[in-house]
Amino acid sequence: MHDLTPNRPALPPEIARRRTFAIISHPDAGKTTLTEKFLLYGGAIQMAGQVRAKGEARRTRSDFMQMEKDRGISVSASAMSFDFKTFRFNLVDTPGHSDFSEDTYRTLTAVDAAVMVIDGAKGVESQTQKLFEVCRLRDLPILTFCNKMDRESRDTFDIIDEIQENLAIDVTPASWPIGVGRDFMGCYDLLRDRLELMDRADRNKVAESIEINGLDDPKLVEHVPAHLLAQLKEEVEMARELLPALDPQSVLEGHMTPIWFGSAINSFGVKELMDGIGTYGPEPQPQKASPREILPEETKVSGFVFKVQANMDPKHRDRVAFVRLASGHFKRGMKLLHVRSKKPMAISNPVLFLASDRELAEEAWVGDIIGIPNHGQLRIGDTLTEGESLRVTGIPSFAPELLQTVRAADPMKAKHLEKALMQFAEEGAAKVFKPSIGSGFIVGVVGALQFEVLASRIEMEYGLPVRFEPSQFTSARWVSGDKQAIDKFVNSNKQHIAHDHDGDIVYLTRLQWDIDRIERDYPELKLTATKEMM
């Protein structure tokens, strides 16, 4: 086993023990199952985002969950904290479906590492690849779990080769499977020279560990049938010759991923993976910000909003901003500077979410995720500090690729609809444009499924049936620049002008030609497909 010298020796122990990570995977690879096992071993202490409200509210929430279930997608990201050995894990959940990638991308700005789950029979699938690319942009350390080894799976070398080739990352085996499919009996732990045997009879039983003194230990014969043992020895010898050895520094830099083989549903390989997260995790990392980077060992508190969720409890029309702490030791009641508005904010009721109810967070450390209820002041990308004017950078915004008009089925309810839409816009769930001429709103999203989710949320959370219809526009551009030039531009393009939820001016069109023409005719204006998130 490699001993890691911590890469940030100045970190106080409370911070150094934190591991904040996300799971990336293709739908169906086993993320949910693995999460459940993490919680089982970890003894979940807090869960954010999965509020199970009572009575009426519960029905609403679970209906929504039903939709997630029916479609096999999970729509809302959430954060869960649990202790494992000496570590505090913060698992930030990411929605799995590609239509929710905006949310997912932003979530990945709030973690220090990612666990990539792949299905042993399928290898690297499209969604995994996409998410991996996002992790790569940030050089996030990635730990790999090859799941479903209890089923017929592909050859171990094939799986490793595919990851290396498709994702251009070095792969080093942390464990090696013994037998495939029905014959799969467990793994040889290459980091600790241990035999881990799976119990097929009891899915929740932790695997039996047998200390082994290397692959020539005669004890192996007592546990592994001769033909499987011969194969194991041969494969491990080959693996050690052909595959790179584990280099913790390279893992930290995102150039190498250790891979564990297991079966989440059988609780197998999960503990080894958790040990791996603890060892190679890493601890909270510096946060890119302007005008300077924020270091986790700084004593002053800072944090940033990476997600806003409205109506988590439909009884209260509030929003919760999910904040990742980037530095300092946060205590409830602190006054922090909301850098964008330059206004102080007393954070008197920050929440962590217990499995069933909201609970006040008395304190939090770097790496932790806290929820701050608010009435819309906190937006995605906002930074909170103890006074310094810092802005966390690198939180992506995406160009809306699909536009549709939305109308309330009951025209008398237009005002309600506006309110609902504004809330979703602030959550970052969609872009909302109010055309300066005509009625109705235009909604812009990245993936088509988002329209359906929005329609169902507006109906459930606001009791407002709505219709989405094709819009005459297909592209949106934010317009910025000199005020006079903007006024002139707006006056002569009224049919194409709309305002977003912040009141900023947006140009809508269906022709790229229009955009080119404006760029030519109004060189003093800037047209952008995305809006900075701050």
Binding site for ligand GDP (CB under 6 A): 25, 27-33, 96, 147-148, 150-151, 263-266
Helix axis angle for 449-462 and 55-71, nearest 10°, is 170
Closer residue to ligand GDP (CB): 74 or 172: 74
Classify 111 as helix, strand or coil.
coil
Q: What span, in angstroms and rounded, lies between the C-alpha atoms of 412 and 401?
A: 30
Closer residue to ligand GDP (CB): 184 or 365: 184
Closer residue to ligand GDP (CB): 93 or 500: 93
User: Residue 227 is encoded by which pair of tokens?
Assistant: 């033909």
Residue 116 C-beta: closest distance to ligand GDP, Å: 12
Residue 159 C-beta: closest distance to ligand GDP, Å: 15
Report whether 309 contacts 427 (CB < 8 A).
yes
Residue 484 C-beta: closest distance to ligand GDP, Å: 53
Closer residue to ligand GDP (CB): 159 or 320: 159
Closer residue to ligand GDP (CB): 149 or 497: 149
Q: Tokens 């109810």 label which residue?
A: 357
Residue 123 C-beta: closest distance to ligand GDP, Å: 15
CA distances from 193 to 54, 188, 298 (A): 49, 7, 39
Residue 72 C-beta: closest distance to ligand GDP, Å: 7
Work out the number of other CB atoms within 10 angstroms of the CB of residue 58.
Answer: 13
Q: What is the 3-state secondary structure (H, E, C) of 61-90?
A: HHHHHHHHHHHCCCCCCCEEEEEECCEEEE
Q: What span, in angstroms and rounded, lies between the C-alpha atoms of 377 and 305?
A: 11
Residue 177 C-beta: closest distance to ligand GDP, Å: 12
Residue 196 C-beta: closest distance to ligand GDP, Å: 14
Closer residue to ligand GDP (CB): 31 or 501: 31
Q: What are phi and psi of 327, to 5 degrees?
A: -160, 160
The DSSP secondary structure of 249-273, one letter per residue, reads HHHHTTSEEEEEE-BGGGTBSHHHH
* Residues contacting residue 200 through CB under 8 Å, at least 6 positions apart: 150, 266
Q: Tokens 């089982």 label which residue?
A: 40
Closer residue to ligand GDP (CB): 268 or 398: 268
Report whether 278 contacts 191 (CB < 8 A).
no
User: Residue 401 is encoded by which pair of tokens?
Assistant: 């690729």
Residue 104 C-beta: closest distance to ligand GDP, Å: 13
Closer residue to ligand GDP (CB): 96 or 254: 96
Closer residue to ligand GDP (CB): 27 or 396: 27
Q: What span, in angstroms and rounded, lies between the C-alpha atoms of 334 and 379?
A: 19
Annotate 384-415 with b (16+ C-beta within 10 A) or e (fewer).
bbbeeebbbbebbbbebeebbbbbbeeeebee
Closer residue to ligand GDP (CB): 33 or 144: 33
Q: What span, in angstroms and rounded, lies between the C-alpha atoms of 248 and 143?
A: 11
Residue 134 C-beta: closest distance to ligand GDP, Å: 17
Q: Tokens 């001016």 label which residue?
A: 505
Residue 269 C-beta: closest distance to ligand GDP, Å: 9
Annotate 181-199 with b (16+ C-beta within 10 A) or e (fewer).
eeebbbbbbbbeebbbebe
